[in-house]
């Protein structure tokens, strides 16, 4: 299918299927903001709150890009907070609490990811917000969740990967457990937060009833663990670290070429026979050590050795072309500089460009979900801190310029 055919019935100027949904974010760092990002990328409108002064930590986290604003140099902030509006508000102050509760009346979903108990300490927990807006969807994202023996503990992405089992199976058997290169504990919690918020919103639209949504980073990592719990509990299976390999399939690994690496995965016996012909190892087709799927999994050293001996003599492109022509599973292992130029990724609009008022033109990742009728897109860059104070406090709240100036002088915004 051509791209034009997929979007043949697209609504002009669509912002996405969630147009009209309003969100208020008391979020920081990555997991909570990422929940908001998923929703705004699909067309929702979000107002993200930064504390006056320092703002969100990710504004100060490297790597940095050139920018005329010190608070708009952090690459992570500029990447994950796109499509949002931003206000400054001191949630710890009585007036800040009052304003937050008023803002909550005007939205469908509140997202927060402070340590459990923090919002309650400020008088902004679910019970307080629900009194202001009974049908609110209040989504809390945290390391261990809102209840449980560990719920009081602070957390980062790697903590979730550690307790959720991912680190125990990630890495190589002769080396320590390792986290994934990117923050899966943060990302998955954000995605689950967005999905759960939409599920709760759907329920509210049917019944009129809001609710508190509790998202734990540990839970979300564990939710991706495939057969881990079942196999440990029922088959006494001890999942070992295997690098890029798969315990059930071989070859299923990253292989070195003359100019980089490729991933090759072959499961079907017919595909194995076809592959052996390509690499000139027809003897392995009927070899009892490699004839069937289970045999190859047991003889992975033999399999990997034969493949590496072939791939090391080839360029990445030569391996990909040869196996792709034979309809076998293969992929180049791309770094992000290569991704920027990849024609498939660009055709899929996964490299988007925005114009930031202080940082200039920025390339960031695009929207993953594609909708034939209501296309979603990156509409605007990450906001500068307090960029939308006038709009939100003026248009939404009805404050006069003098009142806004007074709030600023008092340190409320």
Q: 351 — phi, psi (to 5°)?
A: -120, 110
For helices 184-207 and 31-41, angle between their N-to-C axes, nearest 10 degrees: 50
Q: Tally the C-alpha atoms within 13 A of residue 332's C-alpha that lie toward its C-beta.
A: 19
User: Tokens 């550690």 appear where?
Assistant: 162
d(CA 31, CA 292): 43
CA 348, distance to chain mean position in Å, is: 18
Residue with tokens 């392995």: 284
Give me the phi and psi of 320, to 5 degrees please: -60, -45
DSSP state of 262: E
Q: Using CA atoms, how far apart are residues 73 and 380, in angstroms rounded to an integer? A: 16
Instruction: Report, in angstroms and rounded to the nearest whole number, the Rg of the chain calculated over CA atoms.
Output: 25
Of the chain, the end-to-end C-alpha distance in Å amounts to 50
The answer to whether residues 25 and 47 touch, using CB atoms and an 8 Å cutoff, is: yes
Q: Report the C-alpha gap between 82 and 74 in whole angstroms.
A: 13
Q: Which of 41, 50, 108, 186 is catalytic?
A: 186
Angle at 207 between CA 203 and CA 210, to 5 degrees: 60
Cα 231 to the center of its chain, rounded Å: 27
Extended strands (E) in 39-193: 45-50, 85-88, 109-112, 137-142
Buried b / exposed e over 162-199, threshold 16 CB at 10 Å, is bbbbbbbebbeeeeeeebbeebbbbbbbbbbbbebbbe
Q: Are 141 and 190 contacting, i.e. CB atoms less than 8 angstroms apart?
A: yes
What's the CA gap between 358 and 314, in Å, rounded?
A: 45
Name residue, tokens 């709240």: 397
41 is annotated as an active-site residue: no
CA nearest to 313, candidates 262, 257, 251: 257
Whether 220 and 157 have beta carbons less than 8 Å apart is answered as no
Active-site amino acid positions? 186
């Amino acid at each position: 299918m051509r791209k034009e055919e997929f979007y043949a019935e697209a609504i002009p100027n669509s912002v996405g299927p969630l147009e009209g949904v309003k969100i208020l974010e008391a979020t920081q760092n990555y997991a909570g903001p990422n929940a908001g990002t998923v929703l705004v990328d699909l067309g929702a409108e979000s107002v993200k709150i930064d504390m006056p002064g320092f703002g969100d930590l990710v504004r100060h986290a490297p790597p940095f890009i050139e920018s005329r604003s010190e608070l708009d140099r952090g690459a992570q902030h500029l990447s994950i907070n796109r499509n949002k509006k931003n206000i400054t508000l001191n949630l710890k102050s009585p007036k800040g609490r009052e304003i937050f509760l008023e803002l909550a009346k005007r939205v469908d979903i509140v997202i927060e990811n402070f340590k459990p108990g923090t919002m309650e300490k400020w008088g902004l927990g679910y019970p307080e917000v629900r009194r202001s807006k009974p049908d609110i969807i209040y989504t809390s994202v945290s390391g261990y969740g809102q209840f449980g023996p560990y719920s009081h503990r602070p957390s980062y992405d790697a903590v979730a990967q550690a307790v959720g089992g991912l680190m125990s199976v990630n890495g190589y058997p002769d080396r320590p457990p390792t986290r994934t290169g990117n923050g899966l504990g943060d990302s998955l919690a954000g995605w689950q937060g967005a999905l759960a918020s939409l599920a709760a919103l759907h329920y509210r639209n049917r019944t009129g009833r809001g609710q508190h949504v509790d998202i734990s980073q540990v839970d979300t990592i564990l939710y991706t663990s495939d057969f881990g719990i079942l196999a440990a509990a029922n088959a006494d299976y001890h999942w070992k670290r295997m690098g890029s390999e798969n315990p059930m399939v071989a070859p299923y690994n990253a292989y070195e070429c003359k100019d980089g690496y490729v991933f090759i995965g072959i499961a079907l016996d017919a595909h194995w026979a076809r592959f052996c012909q390509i690499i000139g190892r027809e003897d392995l087709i009927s070899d009892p050590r490699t004839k069937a799927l289970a045999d190859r999994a047991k003889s992975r050293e033999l399999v990997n050795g034969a493949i590496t001996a072939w791939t090391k003599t080839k360029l990445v492109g030569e391996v990909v072309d040869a196996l792709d022509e034979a309809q076998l599973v293969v992929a180049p292992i791309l770094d992000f500089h290569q991704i920027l130029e990849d024609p498939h990724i660009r055709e899929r609009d996964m490299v988007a460009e925005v114009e930031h008022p202080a940082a200039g033109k920025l390339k960031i990742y695009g929207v993953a979900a594609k909708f034939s009728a209501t296309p979603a897109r990156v509409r605007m860059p990450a906001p500068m801190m307090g960029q939308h104070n006038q709009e939100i406090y003026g248009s939404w709240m009805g404050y006069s310029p003098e009142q806004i100036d007074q709030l600023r002088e008092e340190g409320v915004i």
